[in-house]
Amino acid sequence: MIRQPEAVLWDMDGTLVDTEPYWMAAETALVESYGGTWTHTDALQLVGNGLHDSAVILQNAGVDMTPAAIISFLTDEVQESLRVNGVPFRPGARELLRDLKEANISTGLVTMSLRRMALSVVELIDFDAFDIVVAGDDVEQPKPHPEPYLRAAELLGIEIARAVVIEDSPTGLRSGIASGAVALGVPHIVSLDDLGAHELWPTLHERRAADLVDLFGRMTAMTGVTR
């Protein structure tokens, strides 16, 4: 019997939408406004991080603001970029989401962005894409801690072992793996090699719900998880 996941849990920035350039531009402008420099290499440190951890790194780069103020500033800047430029979905992401909904597989968005940011992205999707949203201000422990994904499973009323997590960053992937979900890595800006993902796909383009069902079935057959 083919085992089907009860839910697919999505990271947002870099996995569902390509907002990382928006975040990097906002970070650069903020650091430079305090007379500092912010390189692409510096920005890579923040990919997938919790916002508080990122704010501390920016403080260390010379930004004389509280973590809460930094988080609010960056969120405002990225939301404005989304308003002006639109939501840049990653290749295949919207199509896969729609196919999951048609297959009656629950979906959750699990992001370390603020809830207001996550909801602004969800509202711009032209169908009811997600059953639940877990954001950075909904949890005590950010990724790479498993709490965000465990919280998503709790909200959906499922065991996390019956979910597939899709992530693009090492921090997020570690969170998914630690939670006990089947962890799929789809690298974008940084490599996910040798981190323990159950599988790596170069892209979501032309992927469908059946591909995730197949992945879940193969992985759970190895571990003995049953529906």
- What CATH number is associated with residue 143? 3.40.50.1000
Would residue 37 count as lying in a domain?
yes
CA pair distance 109, 129, nearest whole angstrom = 9
Measure CA of the first residue to CA of the last residue in the chain; give whole Å.
Answer: 10
Same domain, 78 and 98: no
pLDDT in tens, 79-134: 899 888 888 899 999 999 999 999 999 999 999 989 999 998 998 898 999 999 99
Number of domains observed in the structure of the chain: 2
Residue 227's pLDDT is what? 43
Same domain, 12 and 24: no
pTM of the model: 0.86
Q: What does the mean pLDDT of the chain come to?
A: 93
* Residue 78 token pair: 């990225």
pLDDT in tens, 170-203: 999 999 999 999 999 999 988 999 999 999 999 9
- What's 46's domain CATH number? 1.10.150.240
Quick one: which H or E segment has residue 184?
A: strand 182-185
Domain interval for residue 37: 20-85
Residue 189's pLDDT is what? 85
Same domain, 13 and 24: no
pLDDT in tens, 22-73: 999 999 999 999 999 999 999 988 887 778 889 999 999 999 999 999 999 9
Same domain, 97 and 196: yes
Nearest to 28, CA basis, from 13, 44, 39:
39
CA pair distance 183, 14, nearest whole angstrom = 16
Dihedral (Cα; 73, 131, 147, 76), 10-degree rounding: 0
